[in-house]
């Protein structure tokens, strides 16, 4: 593992953590909460600067970050203390961190699609040895419908072809100013129907944003499914990685191009946001639950007792991180 791999990974992870903490920070400031420190990293300070009552610091261990608010885990009489704000405001401050990770992932995916383009319902190429190359289809043909089924996206094209069981499919295509009907033979590959065409890629802000949103939502659904299977024992924990695993993955992505680094950064950001919403002590999800309980009870929870629970949760999470890191090292050497 080269020094450049580690540097790139730390930059990626650092930016994602800063985005997360910015969500907490700006929402806290919006609701008038006193923020004592905005820290990137853990452990001893290596740099700090104080401005408008907040100490902005960089710490030695690049393992996360945090903001330290007045009255967050202890009692405070300050009206600008976190624990003296309405529970709904506190919930908003806590949720803003993961939410910013989701927004950041969406922006990265949209930027990625602007760079590489989005597959559209236009023939970009014909594959050698497949039926389409023997048909009258040509590169640049826009596919309007297949067997009467409208196709407004490349996903519509592949889904319609793949689900068909016909030996011949009739394509309605637009070629310049002409509308043509073209019959194409099919073959079966991997249990699906295929004809052997590839898409044309277009770069446009509107469609890139749309695909960025779909990618974000789709990947969140996949992550939720994986977490559900993990907790129910229907999935192996081999897919879980720690800091060393992330550094290794970012290094692999960096060797194959900037676009892959963007993609992986978006995935890590989504993971960070989602994991933080789990109801585990010390994570944002658990803190939101405490605020919700107070909202329902109409009575404050002792912030010192809550802080103790989160402290125990943090210790357990650090032990889990050590275990996962050990597994990462074994995986790399194996």
Tell me which residues are annotated as active site. Answer: 21
CA distances from 282 to 35, 73, 134, 306 (A): 18, 11, 62, 10
In terms of phi and psi (left: phi > 0; alpha: psi -120 to 50; beta: otherwise), the region of 195 is alpha
The tokens 């996962």 sit on which residue? 324
CB 161 within 8 A of CB 169: yes
Tokens 């100013």 sit on residue: 177
The DSSP letter of residue 129 is T
Kindly state the tokens that stand for 290: 């405490």
Q: Which residues pair with 313 in a beta bridge?
A: none
Alpha helices in the chain (DSSP H): 3-30, 87-116, 154-163, 205-231, 243-256, 258-276, 284-297, 303-333
Sign of the four-CA dihedral 37, 38, 43, 49:
negative
* 3-state secondary structure at position 98: helix
In the Cβ-directed half-sphere of 295, how many Cα atoms lie within 13 Å?
13
Provide φ and ψ at 156, rounded to 5°: -60, -40
Check residue 85 and report its DSSP letter.
S
Q: Is 232 exposed, middle or buried (0-12, 13-18, 19+ CB in 10 A)?
A: exposed
Q: Between β-strands 192-194 and 178-185, what pairing exists: parallel, antiparallel or unpaired?
A: unpaired
């Amino acid at each position: 593992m080269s020094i450049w791999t580690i540097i790139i990974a730390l930059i990626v992870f650092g930016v994602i953590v800063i985005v997360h903490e910015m969500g907490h920070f700006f929402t806290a400031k919006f609701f008038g909460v006193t923020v004592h420190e905005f820290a990137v990293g853990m452990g001893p300070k290596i740099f700090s600067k104080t401005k408008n009552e907040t100490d902005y610091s960089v710490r030695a261990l690049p393992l996360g970050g945090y903001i330290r608010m007045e009255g967050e885990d202890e009692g405070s009489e300050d009206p600008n203390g976190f624990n003296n704000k309405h529970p709904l405001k506190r919930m908003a401050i806590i949720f803003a961190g993961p939410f910013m990770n989701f927004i950041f992932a969406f922006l990265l995916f949209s930027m990625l699609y602007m760079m590489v383009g989005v597959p559209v319902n236009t023939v970009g190429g014909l594959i050698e040895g497949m039926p389409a190359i023997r048909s009258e289809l040509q590169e640049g043909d826009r596919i309007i419908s297949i067997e009467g089924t409208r196709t407004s996206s490349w996903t519509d094209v592949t889904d319609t072809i793949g689900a068909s069981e016909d030996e011949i499919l009739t394509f309605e295509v637009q070629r310049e100013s002409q509308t043509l009907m073209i019959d194409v033979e099919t073959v079966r590959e991997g249990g699906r129907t295929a004809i052997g065409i590839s898409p044309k890629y277009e770069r446009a802000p509107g469609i890139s944003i749309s695909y960025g949103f779909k990618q974000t939502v789709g990947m969140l659904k996949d992550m939720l499914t994986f977490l559900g299977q993990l907790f129910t024992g229907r999935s192996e924990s081999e897919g879980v990685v720690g800091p060393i695993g992330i550094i290794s993955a970012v290094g692999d992505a960096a060797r194959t191009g900037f676009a892959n680094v963007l993609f992986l950064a978006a995935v890590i950001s989504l993971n960070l946001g989602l994991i933080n919403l789990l109801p585990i002590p010390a994570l944002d999800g658990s803190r939101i639950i405490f605020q919700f309980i107070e909202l329902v009870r109409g009575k404050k929870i002792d912030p010192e007792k809550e802080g103790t629970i989160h402290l125990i949760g943090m210790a357990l999470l650090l032990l889990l991180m050590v275990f996962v890191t050990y597994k990462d090292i074994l995986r790399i050497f194996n």
